[in-house]
Structures are given as structure tokens and as C-alpha cells.
Structure 1
């Protein structure tokens, strides 16, 4: 496609077509591993890397694959990228790797990744596809981190615990205790809390979109009035 707009790709990935709160894809890791910020960052980074790599590879082979092998080849590319990410995490962040557990290999079946490969990367050139994968991953990661932060604060009264699992021993003191003698709210950390807060985030986005639409509608309604006033003023002068 020759009319690719990187601005539109960015807006879609971060807000208008966010995979987590608009498309509602990838909800399994979204709900399962966001009990803390560090878990969310780990899963978000892994998903973003896989999205970027898989989109890039699919874009490069798009003119050489037939319909018969198109989807199997996409899955093989995604599985290879996930395997590389798993090996990297085993080498450099093993404890976080064990915490994320089965949800790392399940990235292979994440609908966000296969969906972007089929809907965008298979129809566009390398650079737009790479950017689409990256920005979709950033949008997905942003929601993961927001949800993880909310659940961690409500659940434990602190934030940024166990950051050394990913960022090294120097990050062990990054934990911020917001409420002293806080009684843990267990439901926030458990799966029901994930559903509750995800629903609240989606509702908040819908409210913001509604306000934006109202403002745009009000501006359009005012435009004819302003133009008539200008014409009337011009005739009088």
C-alpha cells in the first residue's frame, strides 16, 4: 500500500484500535500475569518483540507464500520468535521466566500476533509492518502495565516490587510502599480482580471517546453558524 500513514498506525495501536481494550485480543495473558508491574513488563516486552519480529518476517516473505502455506508459515515464524524470547529470558531473567510460566510459550497462539501478521504485515512492506508490530506491542504493553499497577497497588498497597527480577540487583530497592500497615486486598491480585479492573479501564476509555465525539460534533455544529456570520459581516461591509 502506498498511502501508509505512520501517524494512523500509531493512533490505532496506542488508542483507536488498541489490541487489549478495543479489539479485546490477548486477554489470557492480560488477565493472568498482571498481578504486578514486573510481570506485566516482562510479558509486554516479550509480546512486543515477537510482534515486531514476526511482522517484519511476514512482510519480507509475503510475495513468496501461497494461500495454502500462508497461515502455517506465519505460525512457524511466530513460534520461532517466541522460542528465541524464551531462551533469552531463561538466560537473563530466569526467575521471571518461571513466574510467567506457560504464558510465554502461549504467545505463539496469541490472536494479536497472528491477527497483525495476517491483517497488516501480509499486505504491506517491511518498514510499515515493523512499525505496526512495534506500536501494537507498545499499546498492549501499556495496558498490561496500567492493569498491573492498579492491581498491585490495590492488592498490596505498594508498587514496583521485585523489579530486580528483570532489571538486576540494583532495582531491588525500587519498591514504593504507598500505604503503611496496609491490609492486602486479595481479590485484586486474583483473577476476579483482573476482570474487574480491565472492565473499568475499558469503561474509562469509552467515556473518553464519548467526550471526544461530543466535542467534535459540537465543533461541526458551530462551523455553519460561524460561516454564516462571516458572510453576513462581509455583506454589510
Structure 2
């Protein structure tokens, strides 16, 4: 029988503390998103929403509708001091799942210098529960430039993104996007995208082209094209 020395037990302590911290942060992410979603409507200063129909649902460079059309809807309640809550629902065809609901709670505002920020947490819920996860995020915007970081504490995955959005006049717009996925339970890859949009009244339409650089993601790699029609209210 081998006796475990004190050094072995001591070496395990940082890992145990890290695991406990991750579990706590994961619970806090879910609690923040769901609590804000439930509580904020009572104090909401405004409610908005939108419905979208698209030929292909592409999320972080990967088609989550398997190249098929998807229907989406969202409702956002805005409260005092920049607090907001958002519920989002989409159809999909991804790893056996056909629906996903996102519940987001956070705070957003803009500094006097024009720097906008958006920080919060999102709980992603699929109709296949093994796919569920949570993220905390921070997004920054200054003029046409934007950047964001999203982290899943439970699985150790991170997504970084940068974007550029500009109005071209007469309701037309141009969007450029770059993202990077990495972590303990996902393959590392980069995604790139460009989109052209046209808005009129409460409607908007766009065509978006996205590509990723990782060929190992079987059946999900390559260039994705999506046509999107959105009605806002």
C-alpha cells in the first residue's frame, strides 16, 4: 500500500479550490441571468423585441441549423441605470437539439467620451440538456468599432470577437467580424465574416458570409451564407 505524502495533498488543494470557484461562478452566471430576467420586467422602462427568419443560422462561424432555415424571436426589457434582461429563442438542428433559449441579464451604458459597454451573463438552454452552458461577457463599443470577450467558467472555453459596423447611407450598412474560439472542451479556430444590410422602417434584411479556418470540425466547416429578414418592434 502506497502512502500519499503531504505534498500530494497540498498539490491537490489549488485544483480543488479552482473547481469550487468554477462551480460558484457557474451558479452565479445562471442566477444573474435568470434573476434579472424575472425581476426586471416589474421595473422595466421599455420593452422591445424582434422576429427573424433566416436561410441559415450561423453562430460563431458554425451553422447551428445544419444549413437549413431558422426562425428566431427575442424580447428585451430595459430598466433603470442601464439594467436589462433579454429572452431569445431559436430553432436549430445541432447535435440532436432543435431548440435553444438564451436568458441574458446585464448592464449597459455609455461614458461621456462615447465608449459603450455591456456586461452580464447568459444561460444557454437547449432541448438536449447535456448541451446547456453559461457564459459571462464584456462587450465594448467605440464609434464603428466593437470588441467582446465571453467565458464559460464551467468548461473553460473562451470566445473573443472584434467588429466594425458602418452606415453607407440610404439605409444600407456594412459589417465586418472576426472571432477566435479556444478552450478545454472545444477545438480552437478563427471565424471571419462580412455582412451587407438594408433597413427600412421597422424591417431589415441582410446577407452574411462567414468562414472558419479549422477543417477538423466535420460537416460544419467552410463558408456559410445566410439571408436574414428581421421585423423589430
Q: TM-score, normalised by structure 2?
A: 0.20
Higher relative contact order (CA 8 A, sep 6+): 1
User: As a proportion of its length, which structure holds more strand?
Assistant: 2
